[in-house]
């Protein structure tokens, strides 16, 4: 079949991109001959043989308009200037047309991907597509689709470590794939919170110079706060410009950060502090209390103006002033007096909102919820909402899945004020598959029933840790209905796996589901990091404290009752042969989640036994079981490049010239207590030795009838950490254990079964 794809030469660039995308996919799935023409070229050619594909509605494509105005087709049942689209086939004057009419430019791209999804069976995932071969459907189509939410998207954050999970690591090719994936999933918003790049240099060129790439900056702290560059700031600026340009050509939205932006990943350079000497707001909390982390006193106009100079510089160099975002005075307290804190925080929101209204009167302001959830009371949030203009401000609640009493249902926004429903999902180290989907579904149903809820977003501290949650976002941010999670998983398996593997993977996911829900980012009414992940606690020598018995019991929860289920999941995984890279990735993610969760469970059980009975044979036995699982986890992580710190460093170096001294910083970022996650090198050279140190001390205390020497544990852990930093990643990689996935699963299964 010969296919002619037509777009308007005078319309938004996204229509040309949609045309090229359709032609490329048509060639791939059907082998059809395709040519792409502008509307003027099409008119000059006097029609076409075969199928003519019209990209754009009558408002965007003159050829589509001529069919409508000549009564060859009816209206397209879309809301113009929205993300609605229509896919329709029409025969007129002996010619067959396929019309992909979007309400706005990006909607035409949605329509292209949706056509191949609905009528060819193609499926789209962040780590690759499922392309089905077949003939194009050229008749009998007339569908129009609209999203439930106006804002649909996700945020990328500033932590470092493993390439898959850390957006700051990604080069332009990675970002192209990511932005294309956003469009394939009909998302329309994304936000880069990966540092300020060279914004100070652009906003204050006479004050702040570009730093040397290979020199540790004065602003660098420890752990995740070590912001030593791996690529030059100049290159990072070029990369940001290219990736945002790529997104804007496709009509995506990117909020501009504004207001008091000082944070751990966007420090104020010492050069600025020394030359401008801004007065700082007083701060009662200790984190971000270094001079580079303090907030400039925005009671002084000059300081507020200087913050907005950063925003303006970003707009001029990279962005668009169509949508803004603020965290206010995020997380911090400024006084021991609650009333002073309340007044200061409300005052700052007023100043920011007023500045945006005066300078960008047609641009919405997203009010981020993190501080509202963490530091406000429900009454204080209601007071803030009562002061905001609903025609300007939107509450961006990315903590909608919290179990705290302070949540969106208490904020006076439901049915009254524009807001966005968000899933926080995970802190930085929590890259496993997690979340109480039954609870999230119940909350989401409230949001979908509320006409004032304008969006759905995903806002974790890492990217692509949880493949299930990414699909959950894409489906539920578009659909008006919310399916049960069991039905959702069935569809996920049918879409993602080859036909011969669907049944096996459905069975695995069904059994795995209750293990998923055992852990969530926010499991109680506190603001502590929850989920009790084993890796950060090992750095602290675990935590054998008899006064914490109830905390251990809380964190352990019902995990041990699912040992049999966990063993069954691993047993089934051991019998399945991965058919492709995507299936292998999911199998590895499921296995590491199960093994990690029960390694943690045995450590918690040992701590609880110690708290109840003192150190004894059972305590040591539980720790030995944890060690056996941790060995399996180490071997599992060695089988997949996603979890190699060395491979992540190599990918940085392959992108562009890289700081030759960055390896130590990368280790520093990845091993700090807050960020420890599923990293092979950490498992081999930190987590296992640390657990051995703990087991050795507790075994000695038990056999010798003495108290545990916690100071000795911590001293040995520090000495082992020194060896970790002195051992090159290349040497660690060369000494990786050679293990087979199925054997690892069988080994872990045996450990679990022997524990029942």
Identify the structural domains of the chain with CATH numbers, from first to last: 2-145 (3.30.379.10), 151-482 (3.20.20.80), 507-522+530-753 (1.20.120)
**DSSP tag of 641:** G
Sign of CA dihedral 305, 308, 314, 320: negative
Q: Which helix (H) or strand (E) holds 101?
A: strand 95-102
pLDDT for res 195: 86
Q: Is the pLDDT of residue 462 over 60?
A: yes
* Alpha-helical segments (H) within 31-103: 39-44, 62-69
Give the whole-number percent of the chain exceeding pLDDT 90: 94
pLDDT for res 196: 78
Q: What average pLDDT score do residues 492-509 get?
A: 97
pLDDT for res 65: 98
pLDDT for res 340: 96
* CA-only gyration radius of the chain, Å: 27
User: Model pTM?
Assistant: 0.97
Q: Label residue 638 left, alpha or beta by phi (over 0 means left) and psi (-120 to 50 means alpha).
A: alpha
Integer Cα distance of 733 and 646 in angstroms: 7
Q: Write the pLDDT tens digit of every residue in 221-268.
A: 999 999 999 999 999 999 999 999 999 999 999 999 999 999 989 999
Q: What average pLDDT score do residues 636-640 get?
A: 98
Q: What average pLDDT score do residues 553-581 get?
A: 96
CA atoms within 13 A on the CB side of 387: 17
- Position of tokens 């047993």? 571
Beta bridge partners of 53: 5, 98
pLDDT for res 530: 44
- Position of tokens 């009562």? 386
Q: Write the pLDDT tens digit of every residue in 2-21.
A: 999 999 999 999 999 999 99
Integer Cα distance of 568 and 510 in angstroms: 11
pLDDT for res 501: 97
Q: Write the pLDDT tens digit of every residue in 315-337.
A: 999 999 999 999 999 999 999 99
Beta-carbon count within 10 A of 722 CB: 9
Q: Over the chain, what is the mean pLDDT? A: 96
* Helix, coil or strand: residue 275: helix
Q: ∠352-355-361 over CA atoms, to 5°?
A: 120
Q: Which helix (H) or strand (E) holds 440?
A: helix 437-448
Integer Cα distance of 579 and 585 in angstroms: 11
**DSSP string over 646-680:** HHHHHHHHHHS---TTHHHHHHHHHHSTTT--S-H
Q: Label residue 572 left, alpha or beta by phi (over 0 means left) and psi (-120 to 50 means alpha).
A: alpha
Two structure tokens written together for 702: 């038990």
* Helix, coil or strand: residue 189: strand
CA atoms within 13 A on the CB side of 162: 26
**Which residues does 558 contact at the CB level (< 8 Å), separation at least 6?**
518
pLDDT for res 47: 65
Q: Is the pLDDT of residue 299 over 70?
A: yes
Q: Is the pLDDT of residue 506 over 90?
A: yes
Top pLDDT among 469 and 286 is at 469
Q: Is the pLDDT of residue 636 over 60?
A: yes
Question: pLDDT-based confidence at 527, cuts 50/70/90?
Answer: low
* Alpha-helical segments (H) within 150-198: 172-184
Q: Which helix (H) or strand (E) holds 326?
A: strand 324-326
Integer Cα distance of 524 and 181 in angstroms: 34
Q: What average pLDDT score do residues 686-698 get?
A: 97
Q: What average pLDDT score do residues 53-72 get?
A: 98
Query: Is the distance from CB of 418 to CB of 393 less than 8 angstroms?
Result: yes
Q: What average pLDDT score do residues 405-431 get?
A: 97
CA atoms within 13 A on the CB side of 536: 16
Two structure tokens written together for 579: 């058919």
**Which residues does 63 contact at the CB level (< 8 Å), separation at least 6?**
6, 39, 42, 43, 52, 54
Query: Is the distance from CB of 590 to CB of 504 less than 8 angstroms?
Result: no
pLDDT for res 531: 44
Q: Write the pLDDT tens digit of every residue in 146-195.
A: 999 999 999 999 999 999 999 999 999 999 999 999 999 999 999 999 98
Q: Is the pLDDT of residue 528 over 80?
A: no
Beta bridge partners of 191: 155
Two structure tokens written together for 180: 């294309």
**Which residues does 729 contact at the CB level (< 8 Å), separation at least 6?**
645, 646, 649, 663, 666, 667, 681
Integer Cα distance of 295 and 293 in angstroms: 7
Two structure tokens written together for 532: 């009790």
């Amino acid at each position: 079949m010969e296919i002619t794809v037509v777009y308007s030469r005078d319309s938004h660039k996204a229509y040309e991109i949609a045309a090229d995308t359709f032609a490329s996919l048509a060639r791939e799935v059907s082998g059809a001959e395709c040519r792409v023409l502008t509307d003027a070229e099409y008119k000059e050619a006097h029609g076409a043989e075969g199928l003519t594909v019209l990209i754009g509605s009558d408002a965007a494509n003159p050829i589509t308009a001529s069919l409508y105005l000549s009564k060859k087709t009816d209206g397209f049942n879309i809301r113009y200037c929205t993300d609605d689209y229509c896919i329709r086939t029409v025969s007129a004057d002996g010619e067959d047309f396929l019309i992909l009419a979007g309400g706005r430019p990006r909607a035409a791209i949605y329509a292209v991907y949706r056509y191949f999804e609905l009528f060819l069976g193609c499926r789209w995932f962040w780590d690759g597509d499922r392309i089905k071969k077949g003939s194009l459907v050229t008749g009998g189509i007339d569908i129009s689709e609209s999203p439930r939410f106006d804002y649909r998207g996700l945020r990328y954050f500033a932590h470092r470590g493993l390439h898959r999970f850390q957006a700051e690591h990604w080069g332009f090719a990675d970002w192209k794939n990511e932005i294309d994936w956003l469009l394939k999933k009909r998302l329309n918003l994304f936000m880069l919170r990966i540092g300020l790049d060279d914004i100070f240099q652009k906003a204050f060129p006479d004050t702040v110079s570009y730093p040397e790439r290979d020199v540790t900056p004065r602003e660098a702290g420890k752990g995740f706060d070590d912001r030593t560059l791996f690529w030059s700031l100049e290159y990072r600026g070029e990369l940001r410009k290219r990736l945002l340009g790529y997104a804007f050509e496709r009509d995506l939205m990117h909020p501009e950060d504004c207001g008091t932006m000082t944070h751990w990943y966007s420090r104020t350079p010492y050069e600025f502090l020394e030359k401008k000497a801004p007065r700082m707001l007083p701060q009662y909390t200790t984190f971000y209390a270094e001079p580079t982390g303090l907030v400039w006193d925005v009671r002084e106009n000059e300081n507020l103006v200087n913050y907005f100079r950063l925003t303006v510089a970003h707009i001029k160099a990279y962005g668009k002033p169509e949508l803004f975002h603020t965290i206010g005075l995020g997380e911090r307290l400024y006084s021991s007096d609650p009333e002073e804190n309340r007044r200061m925080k409300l005052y700052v929101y007023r100043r920011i909102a007023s500045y945006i209204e005066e300078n960008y009167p047609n641009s919405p302001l997203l009010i981020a919820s993190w501080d509202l959830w963490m530091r406000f009371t429900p009454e204080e949030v209601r007071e803030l909402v009562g002061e905001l203009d609903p025609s300007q401000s939107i509450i961006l609640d990315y903590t909608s899945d919290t179990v705290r009493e302070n949540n969106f249902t208490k904020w006076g926004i439901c049915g009254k004020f524009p807001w966005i429903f968000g899933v926080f999902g995970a802190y930085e180290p929590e890259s496993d598959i997690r979340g109480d989907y039954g609870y999230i579904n119940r909350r989401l149903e409230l949001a979908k029933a509320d006409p004032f809820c304008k969006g759905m977003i995903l806002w974790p501290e890492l990217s692509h840790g949880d493949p299930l949650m990414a699909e959950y976002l894409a489906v539920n941010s578009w659909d008006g209905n919310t399916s049960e999670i069991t039905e959702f998983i069935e569809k996920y398996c049918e879409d993602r796996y080859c036909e011969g593997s669907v049944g096996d993977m459905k069975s695995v996911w069904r059994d795995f589901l209750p293990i998923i829900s055992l852990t969530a980012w926010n499991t109680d009414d506190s603001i502590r990091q929850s989920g009790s992940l084993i890796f950060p606690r090992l750095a602290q020598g675990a935590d054998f404290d008899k006064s914490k018995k109830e905390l251990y019991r809380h964190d352990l929860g019902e995990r041990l009752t699912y040992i049999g289920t966990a063993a069954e999941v691993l047993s089934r995984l051991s019998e399945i042969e991965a058919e492709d890279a995507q299936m292998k990735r999911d199998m590895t993610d499921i296995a590491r989640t199960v093994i990690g969760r029960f390694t943690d469970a045995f450590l918690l059980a040992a701590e609880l036994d110690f708290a109840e009975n003192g150190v004894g044979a059972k305590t040591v036995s539980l720790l030995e079981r944890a060690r056996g699982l941790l060995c399996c986890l180490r071997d599992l992580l060695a089988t997949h490049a996603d979890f190699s710190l060395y491979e992540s460093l190599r990918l940085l170096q392959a992108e562009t010239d890289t700081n030759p001294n960055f390896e130590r910083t990368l280790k520093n970022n990845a091993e700090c207590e807050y960020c420890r996650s599923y990293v092979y090198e950490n498992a081999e050279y930190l987590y296992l030795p640390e657990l051995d140190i703990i087991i050795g001390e507790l075994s000695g205390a038990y056999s010798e009838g003495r108290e545990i020497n916690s100071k000795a544990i911590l001293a040995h852990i520090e000495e082992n950490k020194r060896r970790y930093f002195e051992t090159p990643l290349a040497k660690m990689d060369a000494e990786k254990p050679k293990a087979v996935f199925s054997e690892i699963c069988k080994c872990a299964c045996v450990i679990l079964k022997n524990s029942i």
